[in-house]
Amino acid sequence: MTDQKKGRAQFSSKFGLIAAAAGSAIGLGNIWKFPYITGVYGGAAFLFVYLGFILAIGLPVMLSELIIGRKSRRNAFGAFKKLTPGTPWMFIGSFGVAAAFLILSFYGVVAGWSIKYIIFSVTNHFQYCSPEQISKVFGSFIADPLDPLLYQVIFMLMTGAIVIIGVQKGIERYSKVLMPILLIIIIILDIRAVTLKGAGEGLRFLFHPDFSKLSFEGVLSALGHAFFSLSLGMGTLITYGSYVNKNDNLINTAIQVTTADTIIAILAGIAIFPAVFAFHIEPGHGVGLIFITLPNVFMQMPGGYLFSIMFFILLTIAALTSAISILEVVVAYFTEELKIKRQISTVLATALITLLGIICSLSMGLFSEFEVFGLNFFDLLDFISANLLLPIGGMFIALFIGWAFGKYKVIREVAHGGKLKGWFLQIFMLLVKFVAPIAIFIVFLQGLNILDIIVALFSGNH
């Protein structure tokens, strides 16, 4: 990335953007959250619906965010103010900043668990443990009022420090080399997992769909996770797009990042579910699924001791490159809109998010009694941010590109870096104008039981 006259950094190469965007997309969402919610919502049917959302909604929204960022050269909030001054569109940016706050608070907690697992791996803590014992160790660790906070705070300090150092050094350098290594380790885990006794049942669970078992709530979660996993709906990629060179091809970037993200999630699923069934773990176990499953696999693997250490180090780094991109949304907003100095913005944002995260962490133990709509604080923040704020943000981003920005500006902005084929433009405009917004709206109505609630309200009035 080189500094330009206007003082705005730019990615120095095309690979810089792809690496940074993939670094943002690939993280705990793929390796922790995807297997855990796929397990909760019953497996293959959830996976297929998720893949459908990635294609029909995720990909077009990703391209939209990159277009908005590159055209405006602003953060998620300022972008809309610049492109359509004096209109309410900039509220999309406010949603994004709110979502970033909530997501990073619980994200930091889970990343902290990953750090703790580096230590568990180094000390060979799970040696000779049965699957039940591993599950107990994990359960009492996350419910502890102090231990998980320590690791969460360490993780948040690392995130804040990298954001202070700056976009280039922080993001570009690390993700290029390390993510391919993570990929290799996951593939090795896959090979071990599918050769375990009883692996077939896990593969069937992951790939053989039974749509009758999928609830509307599951469909809503699949939608929310498509946004979460691709880092969409809150302006992360608007902010990254604002650093992109005018000559880069945004379509290829969007396709490559989406493909890489989806492949990693599926490979993580292939590492987890065969093992889940082989070790008789409940697939719908919840937030701890990978943490109670993977130690069993590492123990049954030649070199498992080292692989386990490497895996959790790389998982933590993958989480870090994602966390940086979430924090960057808040920091860019503080610096560019509220005119607070970058260092102070970063310290402030990191501190506030860490505090909220502490409450999330405590909701696993001390505060577990406190529930809203049957969800503890951790799950509540996850639900509000991933299943509500991101899809709403994504819906408005699609509407913005489809209706306010329009076809001609899209052609001009996208064709900078390559030709735009007619059919591609038609499909893209159709998706952002109608398909994505309407689909998101319908999933909302069904997933949140809004129709039922309205009917109940009206019938109650009679």
Q: 228 or 277: whose CB is closer to ligand TRP?
A: 228
Task: Tell me the closest approach of the beta carbon of residue 27 to ligand TRP, in angstroms.
Answer: 3
CB of 106 or CB of 279, closer to ligand TRP: 106
Q: Which amino acid is at 125?
A: H
Tokens 């696993």 identify what position? 364
229 interacts with ligand TRP by CB under 6 A? yes
Length of the chain (residues):
462
Contacts (Cβ under 8 Å, ≥6 apart) of 126: 120, 133, 134, 137, 295, 298, 299
Shortest distance, CB of residue 237 to ligand TRP, whole angstroms?
Answer: 8
Of the pair 126, 174, the CB lying nearest ligand TRP is at 174
In this chain, which stretch among 26-34, 55-63, 175-183, 241-249 interacts with ligand TRP, using CB under 6 A? 26-34
45-64: contacts with ligand TRP (CB under 6 A): none
Beta bridge pairs of residue 2: 10
345 makes contact with ligand TRP (CB under 6 A): no
Cα–Cα separations (whole angstroms), residue 310 to 19, 111, 178, 443: 20, 15, 11, 39
* C-alpha count within 13 angstroms, C-beta hemisphere, residue 181: 14
Told to check if 321 binds ligand TRP by CB under 6 A, we report no
Q: Which of 186, 234, 353, 439 binds ligand TRP (CB under 6 A)?
A: 234
Of 122-130, 231-239, 395-403, 440-448, which part binds ligand TRP (CB under 6 A)?
A: 231-239
Could you tell me the smallest distance in angstroms from the CB atom of residue 322 to ligand TRP?
Answer: 4
Among 10, 30, 175, 308, binds ligand TRP (CB under 6 A): 30
Report how far apart, in Å, the C-alpha atoms of 238 and of each of 68, 92, 132, 225, 254 are: 6, 11, 44, 19, 12
Q: Is position 388 an interface residue for ligand TRP (rule: CB under 6 A)? A: no
- When the beta carbons of 390 and 410 are compared against ligand TRP, the nearer one is 390
**Of 114 and 296, which CB lies nearer to ligand TRP in the complex structure?**
114
Closest distance of CB 230 from ligand TRP, Å: 6
Name the residue number minimizing CB distance to ligand TRP: 29
d(CA 431, CA 436): 6
Half-sphere exposure of 428 (CA within 13 A, CB side): 23
Query: C-alpha 116: how far from its chain's center?
Result: 21
- Cα–Cα–Cα angle for 435, 439, 445, rounded to 5 degrees: 155
Please tell me the distance from the alpha carbon of residue 19 to that of residue 28, in angstroms, as a whole number. 17
Among 11, 41, 46, 228, binds ligand TRP (CB under 6 A): 228
Handedness of CA 301, 303, 304, 305 (dihedral sign): positive
325 binds ligand TRP (CB under 6 A): yes
Other CB atoms within a 10 A radius of the CB of residue 361 amount to: 30
Here the tokens at position 62 are 């990703």
Size of the site for ligand TRP (CB under 6 A): 16
Contact segment (CB under 6 A) with ligand TRP among 67-75, 163-171, 318-326, 451-459 equals: 318-326
Please identify, using beta-carbon distances, which residue of 239 and 296 lies nearer to ligand TRP: 239
Share in percent of the chain as helix, strand, coil (round to 5):
80, 0, 20
Our finding on whether 25 is near ligand TRP (CB under 6 A) is: yes
For ligand TRP, the binding residues (CB under 6 A) are 24-25, 27-30, 103, 228-229, 231, 234, 236, 322, 325-326, 390
